[in-house]
Each structure stands twice: as structure tokens, then as C-alpha cells.
């Protein structure tokens, strides 16, 4: 969509100053420099769906990572997802429930905030330092999840007309954002009922390894991480998970890891009603590809009548 001009400064809100911008449909509100006791301050964008300001209805809430890339090309370094356009069309067609979308912007600590601490802790000691170095230091993900659940969600529920229960609280992201979305439901299944994880970024290599040495390293990592996921997943029936990947650029390397993660879900009893893992031939690891297939995870998360396993 075109760059949006700011229309007016909203009155001061309890959590941060807010600026409103007109979108093609609905309204986008920017809360700037949102502070936290657990993580670095960041911007948070809130998209209100068409009809919000002329009704008294309450809405489910979808939390999405890398919030600067969701709505506006002027803030997206690599292209935008077009979340508002997709949702406006899906809502009009009755394919999804109208949500409030909370876009949580990343910071320069993105990798450390998005890599799950439990996964790092589960690595063999001789691997842990190398993997942490890939992400720039010890993980900060537990603090990030505390920010989402203990600070941001209460603010959103106070400020906007939300349906605050777990059935109506969803989370999604791509790449490392997919990894932290999975982790958020594993850690707080009482808060988030469903996650959509696009092109989930599993660690692929460290420098200095190739050939059989690299394959052996990956096998040890996959074994450790799938064990954590197996032990940490909530019992099937109350939570839902969506995964996808392409087969081009970085996504082409995810098959072996994602296949084993999928096997964990199925072994734990997850089925078509609460688990999907899809492959999109020709899709790359970028915002343009995620934009092209965004209808699929949005429909999974926000279907008016989601299916569940018996």
C-alpha cells in the first residue's frame, strides 16, 4: 500500500504515546518506544479491523513479530506482508473472524529475543557456545515472552475491545519469528491457543564445518531440539500449530529439520484439526513469499469454526 500520512496524535495512553495512521481499510495505531522491565523498548503497531470504531464488539487478538514489516512499506526494509489487505479481503468474504492485530517491532537484539532459551539450554555443552554465537549471545526469549504476556497483552486488553481469553489470543511470525511463536505456545499455552510459524528458521550450520562433520553436527542439534519440543508441547486438543516452508533460498534447507519436528507432533497425537505443516513449491525465504501465501495461515488461525481432533 502507499505510504500513510499520520493524521493526528492520539491522547496519551497509559502505555506509550500513540499516533494514528489511515490504512486502506481499518486503522493503524503506532505506540512508540514501548518500555518493558524485561526487554529493550520497541514500537508496537495495532491494527483495528474495519468496523471497530463504529461498533461495540470485542475482537480476538493476533500478536505478530517483526511488526514493522506487516503493514507499511515505509517501515519495512525487505517489503511488507500486507496483513491489513489480506485480512480486509478475508473478513469481507466471511473466511475469517475479524481480529485486532498487534505488530511487535523487533530490535537490534532480535536474534537473541527470538531464539528459545530452552532449546539453547538443551544443547550438548560442546555445541552450546557455537550456537549461541550464531545468535549474538545468550538468549533473551524468556524475557521477551514475559513482555508479551505480562506487559503488552494486559495493556492491549485495557486499551482496546478484546476477547482476552486464550481461545482468542493467537501468535504468528516468520523465520526466527516462527521459532519464537512455537516457543510462546510451549511456554504459555494458557495465554496463546494457536501459533502460525512461517518458514521457521532452524539453525543450519556453524563456521568451520562441512561435509560429514556438518551433517553430524546437525543431527545432534536436531535430536536435542526435537526432544525439547516433544517434552514441552501441550497435550493435543487445546492448542493448534501451523508450520510452512518453501523450497527455494534458505527454505530449501529446512526439510530435514521440519520433517522431524512434524513427526514429534504426530507422535504426540496432533492431527489435521490442530496441526498443519505445508510446503509451497517455488516459495523463497522473504516477505514477498510470505505475503503471497498469508491467506493460508490467517485462515488456520482465524477460521470462524476451526476444526479440532476428537
Q: For residue range 227-281, what is the model confidence (pLDDT) as tens digits?
A: 999 999 999 999 999 999 999 999 998 998 999 999 999 999 999 999 999 999 9
**C-alpha cell of 158?**
485495557
Measured distance CA(230)–CA(262) in Å, rounded: 10
Q: Evaluate if residue 7 carries a pLDDT over 50.
A: no
Average pLDDT, the chain: 90
pLDDT on residue 206: 56
Mean pLDDT value of segment 25-47: 97
Q: For residue range 141-196, what is the model confidence (pLDDT) as tens digits?
A: 999 999 999 999 999 999 999 999 999 999 999 999 999 999 999 999 999 999 99
**pTM (predicted TM-score):** 0.91
Mean pLDDT value of segment 277-299: 97
Tell me the percentage of the chain whose pLDDT exceeds 90.
76
Backbone angles phi, psi at 170, to 5 degrees: -130, 160
More confident residue, 148 or 8: 148
Which residues share a beta bridge with 48? Answer: 27
Mean pLDDT value of segment 62-72: 97
Burial 143-178 (b: 16+ CB within 10 A, else e): bbbbbbbebbbebbeeebebbeebebbbbbbbbbbb
pLDDT on residue 21: 55
Which residues share a beta bridge with 46? Answer: 29, 102
Measured distance CA(277)–CA(296) in Å, rounded: 11
How far, in Å, are 15, 59, 83, 242 from residue 157 at the CA level?
12, 10, 21, 25
Amino acid at each position: 500500500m502507499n505510504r500513510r500520512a499520520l493524521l493526528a496524535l492520539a491522547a496519551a495512553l497509559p502505555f506509550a504515546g500513540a499516533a494514528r495512521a489511515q490504512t486502506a481499510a481499518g486503522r493503524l495505531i503506532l505506540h512508540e518506544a514501548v518500555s518493558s522491565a524485561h526487554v529493550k523498548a520497541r514500537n508496537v503497531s495495532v491494527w483495528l479491523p474495519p468496523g471497530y470504531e463504529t461498533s461495540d464488539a470485542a475482537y480476538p487478538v493476533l500478536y505478530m513479530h517483526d511488526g514493522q514489516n506487516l503493514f507499511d512499506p515505509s517501515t519495512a526494509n525487505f517489503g511488507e506482508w500486507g496483513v491489513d489487505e489480506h485480512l480486509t479481503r478475508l473478513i469481507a468474504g466471511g473466511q475469517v473472524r475479524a481480529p485486532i492485530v498487534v505488530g511487535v517491532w523487533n530490535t537490534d537484539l532480535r536474534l537473541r529475543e527470538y531464539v528459545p532459551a530452552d532449546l539453547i539450554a538443551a544443547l550438548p555443552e560442546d555445541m552450546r557456545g557455537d550456537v549461541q554465537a550464531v545468535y549474538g549471545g545468550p538468549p533473551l526469549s524468556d524475557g521477551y515472552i514475559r513482555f508479551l504476556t505480562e506487559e503488552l497483552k494486559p495493556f492491549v486488553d485495557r486499551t482496546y475491545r478484546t476477547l482476552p481469553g486464550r481461545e482468542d489470543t493467537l501468535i504468528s511470525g516468520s523465520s526466527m519469528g516462527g521459532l519464537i511463536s512455537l516457543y510462546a505456545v510451549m511456554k504459555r499455552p494458557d495465554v496463546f491457543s494457536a501459533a502460525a510459524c512461517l518458514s521457521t528458521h532452524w539453525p543450519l550450520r556453524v563456521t568451520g564445518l562441512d561435509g560429514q562433520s556438518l551433517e553430524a553436527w546437525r543431527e545432534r542439534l536436531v535430536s536435542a531440539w526435537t526432544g525439547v519440543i516433544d517434552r514441552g508441547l501441550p497435550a493435543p486438543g487445546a492448542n493448534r500449530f501451523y508450520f510452512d516452508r518453501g523450497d527455494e533460498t534458505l527454505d530449501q534447507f529446512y526439510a530435514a529439520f521440519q520433517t522431524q519436528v512434524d513427526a514429534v507432533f504426530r507422535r504426540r497425537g496432533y492431527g489435521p484439526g490442530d496441526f498443519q505443516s505445508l510446503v509451497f513449491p517455488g516459495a523463497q525465504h522473504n516477505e514477498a513469499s510470505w505475503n503471497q501465501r498469508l491467506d493460508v495461515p490467517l485462515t488456520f488461525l482465524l477460521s470462524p469454526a476451526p476444526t479440532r481432533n476428537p
